[in-house]
Structure 1
Amino acid sequence: MTLHRIKTALYALYLTNKFGFKLRGEHSANDVTKLRLEYAETLLSHLKISINVEGADKINKGQPYLIVSNHRSIIDPLIVEMALKKTGINGLWVAKKELYNSFFFGMFTRNAGTVLLDREAKTMNGFFTEIKKRVKSGYSICVFAEGTRNKTTETLAEFKEGAQIIAMKNRLPILPVYIETNANEALESSLQNTDRDLTASIIVGDVIDYKDRSDTLQALYKSRFDLD
């Protein structure tokens, strides 16, 4: 591991826990969103990765959505946060139990506006009840529909059924976003070359009606971005 990688990892750990600490306690939804965005902007700036957003005009400001994204990198949530900048959307991320207990991400995840997904739980009733309560309060829900990072050579891994269930149970319009750039490769380039400016592109697609049963959510998502 190079000295630059070590320094970057230590800075990211410091920054993540700094904002995790800032997010402790009671905050308004708007304040949480602002702090998360500040965190995303600060870390991406340090990595020299700028974000190009296409189709942001398709977002109705303040409209609650189920925001569905593909997932290949640990910096994907930051990219999605940047896409939602100035939209008036306060989103809650669905986060796996492993992230809640993570040394690196734990405090940030617990405090930054998330809904815990415990896949080992005997029932998912508590999870869906919490989602419904948050949606009624005006929140959007952000999910990586593949359930985990896609480490294959395929454009998308198989979508889990949970995203569709969340949308239907809460009558949420589905806002598809596609991180066109392989952010994992962008991150690796950043770690290898401290002087290189990089760009990651994210596209906002046309909204999918939660009642649309003409095809699977994955097929409808692919059609929005002309993916194979």
Structure 2
Amino acid sequence: MATANDGSWLTALVDWSVSLMEVIGPAGAGLAIALENVFPPLPSEVILPMAGLTASRGTFTLFEALFWTTLGSIVGAFALYGLGRWLGVDRLRRAAGRIPLVHPEDIDRTVAWFDRHGGKAVFFGRMVPLFRSLISIPAGVTRMPVWKFGVLTASGSLIWNSIFVLAGFFLGEQWHVVETYADVLQYIVIAAVGLGIAWFVWARTRALLRHRQDASTATGEQG
């Protein structure tokens, strides 16, 4: 079985996922993907092609690879969905009130947005690195119907999983080619998130300083 050989933690994770597939078959790929959903640093972009490569060698069928990895995605997503339901809007509002620069109203606006666009967010979010796992939490917080969440998660996950499993199946030992493109997408997403956070902090800090300046000016005028 081909794996990376750089001696990094990624190599260990790949070797572990490959061992699961060799020991318990396609269910091992499903288990690895379920854990990847709960622990995003696990790279689905590596695990999925390895499942396809294993299927191409006849260890299990392509259908089994797609079925079990998609099932694993659904199970992992429902774990985070359950966490979101447990947290709920009230807990998040109370937590927001204790976080610098964050207001409880931010939670209300986020929930209102998710109520309007949650279906598209869950479906397309399953095909975006980082968000593909985390999108399940707001779905749980807003109590999206279980059947709807399940259908959207399964559909989006099947598309994402199929791309990488089929890449591993048809590319064989050259499966690393698709990993390169996946890394570029992930870097773009990370950069976008970083810029978004930077803009949020800048805007909130500016508003806070303006508020304090206005309050100081008003106090001076009263004095």
**TM-score, scaled to structure 1:** 0.24
Flag the structure with larger Rg. Answer: 2
Query: Which has the larger share of helix?
Result: 2
TM-score by length of 2: 0.24
More strand by share: 1
